Structure 1
Amino acid sequence: MDIKDISSVDLNLLVSLDALLAESNVTRAAARLHISQPALSAQLARLRQLFGDPLLLPAESGRGMTATARALALRTPLRKALADLGAVLGSEAGFDPHTARRTFQVALGDNATTLVGVPLIELLGCSAGPGVQIAMSMTEPGAAATLLEQGEIDLLIDAQRAIPQSAKVRVLLTQPFVMAQRKGHPRGTGTLDFETYLGLRHVVASPLRGPLHGYMDETLEQLGYRRNLALSVPQFGMVPAVLDKSDYVSTLPAGLLAGYADRLDMFELPFDAPPFALAMAWHPRNHKEPGLEWLRGLAARAAGISVAA
C-alpha cells in the first residue's frame, strides 16, 4: 500500500498508533482509547501491514512492549500531525465541556501547582461533565517549547521567566516575594535588614541538580551580593515543614505562604526585587481552538481572573 495516499488510510489507526507508542502496552492503550484490547490488537495488526514494520515488539522483560526504530521515528511527526488535525477540526466546531469527551494535558511548575493547579481542579468539578479530564504533570526544565510544539502538552502554567518565547502567553498573577521563618525564630520579629538577610541560612526549592541557586540569587548577583544558601529541596511543599523544624529561612511568593501564617512569620525583603509573575502559555496554532480557549478561561478563573482572554 502506498501510504503517501492519505485517502487510503483509516485515520483512526493513527490515533491508535499514537496511544500505543505513548503507553507501550496494549491494555493501557486500549483503556486510553476506550476500546477493547482485542479490537486494538486487530488495529495493531493493520498498522503493521500499513507500515511494513512490527512497530511494537514484546519487551525482553516480559512486561509491556518495545518500539522498533521505525516506530520511534514516527512518534514525533505523528503526534504533531494529530495535534494539527485536532486544531483544524476544533476550529470548525464549538466545545461543550458538559458533553465533550477529552483529556487535556497541563504541565505546571512547582509554584503553579499550589497557586493555580489546586483551584483548577476544584473548578473542573463544577464546570465540566465527566467526559472532560485534566492530566497534570510537572514541567520538564528546558523541554516546554518542544512539548508544546509536539502537542504533548496543551497548556503550560509556570513562572513567566520559564515560558518559551515561541509560545502565546498570558500573565495570570503577580505577587511580591517575602521571607519566611518559623514562629519563635532566634532572629526575632524585628524589621529585616539587608546584612541580616544575607547572613541567614536560606532554603531554596528547585528541581534541578547542581549548585544551590534560586531566582532571588539572580537579583542579588545583579546587586553584587550573595546570600548564605544552606539547603535545596525539590518541591515547595517541603519548605514550610523544613522551616517549622529548623532555623532556616526561605524567600517565596507571598501567596504560597498564605496558608502557613499560624506556623510562619513573613517579612518584606530589605531590597527591591521584581515580583513573582505566573503565566500560562500555549502553542500559537491552538490560539482559537475552542476546547483550549475554554481551558485557558478555566485556568484564568482559577487564578482569580473573572474574564478570560
Structure 2
Amino acid sequence: MSAQLSRLRELMGDPLLVPIQKGRSMTPTARALALRGPLRAALMTLGSVIQSELGFDPWNDKRVFRIAACDTALSTICEPLIASIAKHAGTQIQVSLNAVDPGLIGRQMEEGVFDLLIDSSRGVPLGMRCTALRTDEFVMAQRKGHPRGSEPLTLDGYCELNHLVVSPERESFRGYMDEYLRSAGMSRKIYLTVPTAGMVPGILMSTDLVCTMPRMLTQSQNDAIETFELPFESEPLQLMMAWHPRDDADAAILWLRQLAQSPAAPQASSSDTK
C-alpha cells in the first residue's frame, strides 16, 4: 500500500493523504477530495465497458439499479416499472428508488450516483442522453362542491383562488405556471406548498385550495376531485428518461431503459436504437 501511495503522490504532485494530529488515522487532502468525483466517473465508465462485453442476464446476474425520479414519475412511471422488473428479473436484482434533489442531480449523474433519471424535460441536466417517456397536460384540480362552482376558468378567476403547489424545494412559493402568468402581467396567491403530490388529494378534499397539476395525477380521484382546463397556454409536462453517455453500452442499464419504455420484456442484450 505504501509503495502504491508513493507512486500516486509522485504522479499527482500532492501527498493525497496526511496524518491526523491525534491517532494514526489519515485524512485526504483538498487535491484528493477534488479527484474523487472524476475518479469515480472513470471507474464507472470502465465498469460500463466491461459490462457491455459481458452482457447481462436479468435472471441470474447480481445488480443494483439506482434510479432518481421526480414526484410525478414516482407514482406514474416508477410503480409499473418496479412491477415489470419484478416480473422480468430474478431475485438477485435490487432497486434503489430515490427522489430527485434538483440542486444535486447534475453532479450525482456525473459521478454515477444514479444509473437512471426520470424527470421533466426541465429537470434533465445538460450533457445527459435522454428519451421521452410520457407527455401530459396540466389542469387545475379542485374538490367537488367547491364554492367556485364548476364553470370554466377565467384568467382573473384563476388568479384570485388560493393555490397549492407541489415543490421539492423548501419554501418555494412559485411554480411553472407562475412564469406564464408573469408574461401576461398576472400573478396568483400560493397559499401552501407541499413536498409530494401524494398529499394533494387529501388537502384539496378538506379545503377550498386548488392545485395545478398533471392530469395523470388526478385520474385516481375522479369521485372526489374535478379538473378544469387552464385559462392560458402552457407547455405540457414531458417526462424524460435520462442517463450518462458513459452508460450507452452498459448491457444492464440498456435492459433497464428498454423496460422503462415498454411493458413487454426487453431483450437481455441488444444495441441501443435511439
State TM-score, norm by structure 2: 0.84
Aligned residues of 1:79 and 1:152 also touching (Cα < 8 A):
no
Match of 2:241 in 1: 280
Match of 1:247 in 2: 208
Deviation, structure 1 residue 93: 2.1
Candidates 137, 145, 153, aligned match of 1:192: 153
Candidates 41, 52, 66, aligned match of 1:105: 66
Listed one character per residue, the Cα deviations across residues 6-63 of structure 1 (whole Å, up to 9, x for unaligned) are 9xxxxxxxxxxxxxxxxxxxxxxxxxxxxxxxxxxxxxxxxxxxx97789x99xxxxx
Match of 2:97 in 1: 136
**Segment drifting more, 243-252 vs 221-230:** 221-230
Change (3 A) 1:75 1:54: farther
Match of 2:267 in 1: none
In the TM superposition, 1:171-250 aligns within 5 A as 171-250=132-211
Match of 1:260 in 2: 221
In the TM superposition, 1:129-168 aligns within 5 A as 129-168=90-129
* Percent of residue pairs identical: 42
Match of 2:27 in 1: 68
Candidates 246, 260, 269, aligned match of 1:299: 260
Listed one character per residue, the Cα deviations across residues 262-307 of structure 1 (whole Å, up to 9, x for unaligned) are 110111111111111110111111112111111111111269xxx9
Deviation, structure 1 residue 82: 2.3
**Segment drifting more, 183-192 vs 251-260:** 183-192
Counterpart of 1:69, as a letter, is P
- RMSD between superposed Cα atoms in Å: 2.7
Counterpart of 2:4, as a letter, is D
Aligned residues of 2:139 and 2:229 also touching (Cα < 8 A):
yes
Match of 2:13 in 1: none
Match of 2:4 in 1: 2
Cα distance in structure 2, aligned partners of 1:79 and 1:199: 51
In the TM superposition, 1:18-57 aligns within 5 A as none
Q: May I ask how many residue pairs the two structures share in their alignment? A: 254
Cα distance in structure 2, aligned partners of 1:54 and 1:308: 51
Change (3 A) 1:184 1:102: same
Counterpart of 2:104, as a letter, is A
State TM-score, norm by structure 1: 0.75
Deviation, structure 1 residue 74: 6.0
2:261 aligns to what SS in structure 1?
A: helix
Any gaps of 5 or more consecutive residues in structure 2? 9-15, 265-271
Aligned residues of 2:172 and 2:193 also touching (Cα < 8 A):
no
Cα distance in structure 2, aligned partners of 1:287 and 1:111: 25
Cα distance in structure 2, aligned partners of 1:193 and 1:74: 55
Deviation, structure 1 residue 75: 4.0
Change (3 A) 1:248 1:302: farther
1:2 aligns to what SS in structure 2?
A: helix
